Amino acid sequence: MIHALMIVFGGTGDLAHRKLYPAVCNLYFSGLLPQEFALVSVGRRDKTTEEFRKEVVDSITKDSNINPVKNKDLDDITSRFYYYKNDFYSNQGYEDLGKFLQQLDEKYETRGNRVFYLAVAPEHFGPVVERINSAGLTPNSGNSWQRVVIEKPFGKDLDSAAKLNQDISRVFDEENIYRIDHYLGKEMMQNIMVIRFANTLFEPLWNNKHIDHIQITSSETVGVENRGGYYEGSGALRDMMQNHMLQLLMLTAMEPPVNLDNQSIRDEKVKVLRALSPMTPEEVKRNVVRGQYGPGIDGDRKLKGYRQEERVSPQSNTETYVAMKLMVNNIRWAGVPFYLRTGKRMPCKTTEIAIQFSEPPEVLYFKEFQRLESNLLVIKIQPREGAFLQFNAKKPGARSEIIPVAMDFCQNCDIGAESVDAYVRLLYDVLRGDSTLFTRWDEVEHSWRFIDKIAKTWEDTAPDFPNYSAGNWGPEEARELIERDERMWRDVCDYY
């Protein structure tokens, strides 16, 4: 069992209430947290520990899917939650916090083990870590450990990410830095490797001899909501492509690791990024499409355009949609295009990977039926979780007809089979010291190297925004991007 203190900077914020506290409670209810655990929320607001505990209970009972919530258990775990008011920039404040942590260490026998969770705006990451260190909050006394968890965005380009990494690495070794990409905590993300490497069926076909192309989609129906301030400086390229979408790509395209330890898996993932050649400006123009939603309609609901959203400039050139074609330049994938797309205000919320196998040979049935559908494997990440395999079979009846049929595995279709939130798994891994589902520095580095080229090219050219209406599948150019290759985007909405 894990004895530890968890210190959450930015502990009064939305992320902490919606994700972290429910996840901690979930672990406790599942018997995965010991009695020797306490949590300190550090924030700038005035608040007592009692008020803080009450807020946690309210947010947990209001909108989490923790099941079942027994009041006694909830009281048990929240009785170990504390609030500590501290200005992120006050050196004295950190000294005092250190004394408070020591008291809790003794009270809960947490042995000096600490998780510092930075749920603060990125500009505070470096300064907070520096003060954690100078106030001696990382005792590192032989048997104890201290880890830091960093929320995204990890920088906004390679230079800022490298600077941030330098600041953090002065205090924490790479093995104690946990960079969150919450997609990695999703059940089906972890299943991609299992589907690929625990079956004899797929892996032999997982290459350019049998696969025509791969489509990776992550679409959302929501707009920027109340995050305009952040999103204006980010856009879909940095907000989704640089991290979640490239993670999906890595897991799909990586070679089998030599074993399942965290370094071996991440070694293979990063090789995929290294095999992406950074695009020239001409390649960016040809292979990457950006879009921004304008006003639209969803049923009888009017949807605002991005430029009309709160804290967004009315002339904003920030993209809310990106589609791209890229090639993974290695022996396995030579000649196989990967089409990636992500956007806000799309017709449905879905994340999936579609593996389109090559066309069946043009003999035998082909003569009679002109065209047979290719085999298709779709790994569904969310909201439906599962895998769908399409193949050809004879349609029953006197006539000879061939139709595509499917085997469909859905792991969350049964009521009550809802997967736990990604943060539950991620927090558990932080506490037990397994960083496999976190982003290693070289992954961050290579992903920015690739993304920066695109961002730079876009800086130099003005987009024609808005170019799709809210509730639609992105701009016309995205359709052209794939149709130019005589392929089509899949209809990805889950109709169930």
- Site mask for ligand BG6 (CB under 6 A), range 357-386, x = bound: ------------------------------
The residues in 152-211 that bind ligand BG6, with binding defined as CB under 6 A, are: 152
Nearer to ligand BG6, 125 or 206 (CB): 125
CB closer to ligand BG6, 296 vs 343: 343
Binding-residue pattern over the window 95 to 134 for ligand BG6, x denoting contact by CB under 6 A:
----------------------------------------
Q: Does 319 bind ligand BG6 (CB under 6 A)?
A: no
Residues of span 336-355 touching ligand BG6 by CB under 6 A: 351
What would the x/- binding string for ligand BG6 be over residues 423 to 442, using CB under 6 A? Answer: --------------------
Q: Rg (Cα) of the chain, in Å, rounded?
A: 24
* Nearest residue to 88 via CA among 203, 9, 175, 180: 9
Q: How far is the CB of 295 from ligand BG6 (least distance, A)?
A: 20
> Of the two residues 73 and 220, which places its CB atom closer to ligand BG6 in the complex?
220
Rounded Cα–Cα distance for residues 467 and 475 (Å): 6
Residue in 76, 95, 130, 220 binding ligand BG6, rule: CB under 6 A: 220
List, in sequence order, the alpha helices (H) in 114-213.
125-134, 158-169, 187-197
Dihedral sign, Cα of residue 69, residue 72, residue 75, residue 80: negative
Q: Confirm whether 446 is a catalytic residue.
A: no
Q: Where are the alpha helices (DSSP H) in 79-157?
A: 91-108, 125-134
- The C-alpha angle 178, 182, 186, rounded to 5 degrees, equals 120
- CB nearer to ligand BG6: give 181 or 429: 181
DSSP character at residue 328:
B
Instruction: Output 351 or 375, the one with its CB closest to ligand BG6.
Output: 351
Q: Which of 151, 239, 268, 283 binds ligand BG6 (CB under 6 A)?
A: 239
Which residue in 3, 182, 244, 446 is the catalytic one?
244
Residue from 201, 188, 204, 247 nearest 389 by CA: 201
Q: How far is the CB of 237 from ligand BG6 (least distance, A)?
A: 12
User: In terms of CB distance, is 114 or 152 closer to ligand BG6?
Assistant: 152
**Which tokens is 10 given?**
């930015």
Burial of 10 (0-12, 13-18, 19+ CB in 10 A): buried
**Residue 218 near residue 186, CB atoms below 8 Å:** no
The structure tokens listed for 103 are 């008291």
Q: Of 185, 184, 317, give the one whose Cα is nearest residue 245.
A: 184
Tell me the residue type at 476: E
DSSP symbol at 176: G
- Residues 387, 355 contacting (CB under 8 angstroms): no
Helix (H, G, I), strand (E, B) or coil at 96: helix
- Exposure on the CB side of residue 230, measured as CA atoms within 13 A: 14
Contacts of 235 (CB under 8 A, 6+ apart): 290, 318, 319, 320
User: Closest residue to ligand BG6, Cβ-based?
Assistant: 239
What tokens appear for 97 in the block? 């916090």
CB of 14 to ligand BG6, least distance (A): 12
Q: How far apart are CA 265 and CA 184, in angstroms?
A: 13
Q: How many CB atoms lie within 10 A of CB 347?
A: 15
Binding track, positions 269-308, relative to ligand BG6; x by CB under 6 A: ----------------------------------------
Closest CA to 352 of 385, 328, 391, 390: 385
Closest CB to ligand BG6 among residues 171, 346: 346
Residue among 455, 461, 491 at smallest CA distance from 473 = 491
Q: How far is CA 238 from CA 90, 233, 241, 312, 382, in A?
A: 31, 9, 6, 17, 21
CB 337 → ligand BG6: shortest distance, Å? 24
Nearer to ligand BG6, 138 or 342 (CB): 342
Q: Which is nearer to ligand BG6, 239 or 385 (CB)?
A: 239
Q: Applying CB under 6 A, which residues contact ligand BG6?
A: 152, 220, 239, 351
Active site residues: 244
